[in-house]
Amino acid sequence: MKGKLEKEERDKLIAAGQQLKEALSAAEEQVALVEQAMQVEGQRIPNSTHPSVPLGGEENATLLACIGEQRVFEGFQPADHVKLAEPLQMVDFDAAAEVTGQKFYYLRNAGALLELALVSWAMARVGAKGYTPFTTPDIVKASVLEKCGFQPRGTNTQVYSIEDSPLCLTGTAEVPLAGLYMDKVLQESELPIRMAAFGHCFRTEAGAAGAAGKGLFRVHQFSKVEMFILCTPSQSDALHEELRAIGQEMYTDLGLHFKVLDMPSEDLGASAHRKFDMEAWMPGLNRYGEISSASNCTDYQARRLNIRYKPQPPKAPEGATTSQGSTDAPAQSEEGASQGKKQKGGKKAAGGGSAGARTEFVHTLNSTACAVPRIIVAILENFQQADGSVIVPEQLRPFLGGMEVIRPPQSLK
């Protein structure tokens, strides 16, 4: 438009522009409300289940493997971990109850050192398997928790919410690791992405009481090393088996006796398509207790978090000519590709890619590498001696300065 506009005409255009701006703002607000409503409705729908998943409750779990044997204690009755840890001055429940409340604890002396050793050992083991190490925020937005399949505001929630804030304490590093790639489009060549994070976990343990939650077994705060994977749909089943194999190898090397279970449909939770649990024998508690859980969430979390990837185009047969007339030309230069690129406009850009290339949702998987208090329980109860001392598993000794036995304090002088 050339030439100077008359004031009246210019004012009309300015007013029309302002109306368009206001209409766009109102439309964006409406879209946000619709997206929020879709998230709420989507949370009502759980993931599909794998054909091999047994139906029913926990009692219907399928035994996939039984590693090792229950230890036979000769000459003494095994004590539970609380009776072992307190004389060894490894843990203080009473002081924690005064300072914070029930189901909190202080680890001290060999207890504190054992936690640090387990974290270092677990991170070293999974790092050697190609998992990139992370430390993550312990506080996340409630919206991210919801997109991962958790219910921060629901009845009997396991999540601690921060008052007058959209933030929550996270119950697992799975959540901040998943949020790391929210609203991003990846290249297929980048997948799978393997990550492992050390984080602090906070859980209300609503409804949990009784002997099953004694001592360190069920607590409100604990440390954990978590594995997390982003991959293509064709990769996820094999990677689920990889997570299972890593866990089996780690707990076998610690010398634990444990079972591997294919968990039934009623125990899967909203996000899991299939879940493998590992339960270690805990002789002091006289039962098996869960020490690890590995879940394939397929695209359940990725759809809600909007994590996509751009499939590689099929390779043309040798000598074939592309639509541009060149032979075997790559669809896109790797040098110019923006890996892990944030989608402009978030979900508005989710359906496509450059030159109309279609994007797909990734699959996500997660697995516990080391839930510290549960492993401490298993170590104390399985490796206890008649005099109240505890043999340190060989795998952990390099991370404890060569310590071979945890002895009562009077023996340490």
The identity of residue 148, as a single letter, is C
pLDDT (tens digit per residue) in 205-236:
865 555 566 799 999 999 999 999 999 999 99
Q: What is the mean pLDDT of residues 76-96?
A: 95
User: 194 - beta bridge partners?
Assistant: 229
Scan for tokens 């189901």, then name that residue: 103
pLDDT at 144: 94
Position 100 confidence tier, pLDDT thresholds 50, 70, 90: very high
- In whole angstroms, give the CA distance from residue 182 to residue 199: 19
pLDDT (tens digit per residue) in 368-393:
999 999 999 999 999 999 999 999 99
Q: Output the pTM of the full model.
A: 0.83
Closest CA to 194 of 255, 254, 235, 153: 235
Q: What is the mean pLDDT of residues 109-127?
A: 98
394 CB-contact burial (10 Å; exposed 0-12 / middle 13-18 / buried 19+): exposed
Scan for tokens 């790639």, then name that residue: 181
Asked whether the predicted pLDDT for residue 344 surpasses 60, the reply is no
Asked whether the predicted pLDDT for residue 95 surpasses 80, the reply is yes
What share of the chain has pLDDT > 90, as a percent?
73
Question: What SS3 class is residue 375?
Answer: helix
More confident residue, 113 or 341: 113
The identity of residue 306, as a single letter, is N
pLDDT at 206: 62
Asked if 60 contacts 269 with a C-beta cutoff of 8 angstroms, the reply is: no
pLDDT at 278: 98
pLDDT at 209: 57
Position 252 confidence tier, pLDDT thresholds 50, 70, 90: very high
Looking at 212-310, which runs of residues are DSSP E strands?
A: 221-231, 258-262, 274-282, 287-296, 308-310
Q: Which two tokens stand for residue 376?
A: 């401490």
pLDDT at 170: 95
Cis check: omega of the bond before 87, within 30 degrees of 0: no
Position 38 confidence tier, pLDDT thresholds 50, 70, 90: confident
Asked whether the predicted pLDDT for residue 332 surpasses 70, the reply is no
pLDDT (tens digit per residue) in 7-32:
888 888 889 999 999 999 999 999 98
What share of the chain has pLDDT > 70, as a percent?
86
Asked whether the predicted pLDDT for residue 239 surpasses 60, the reply is yes
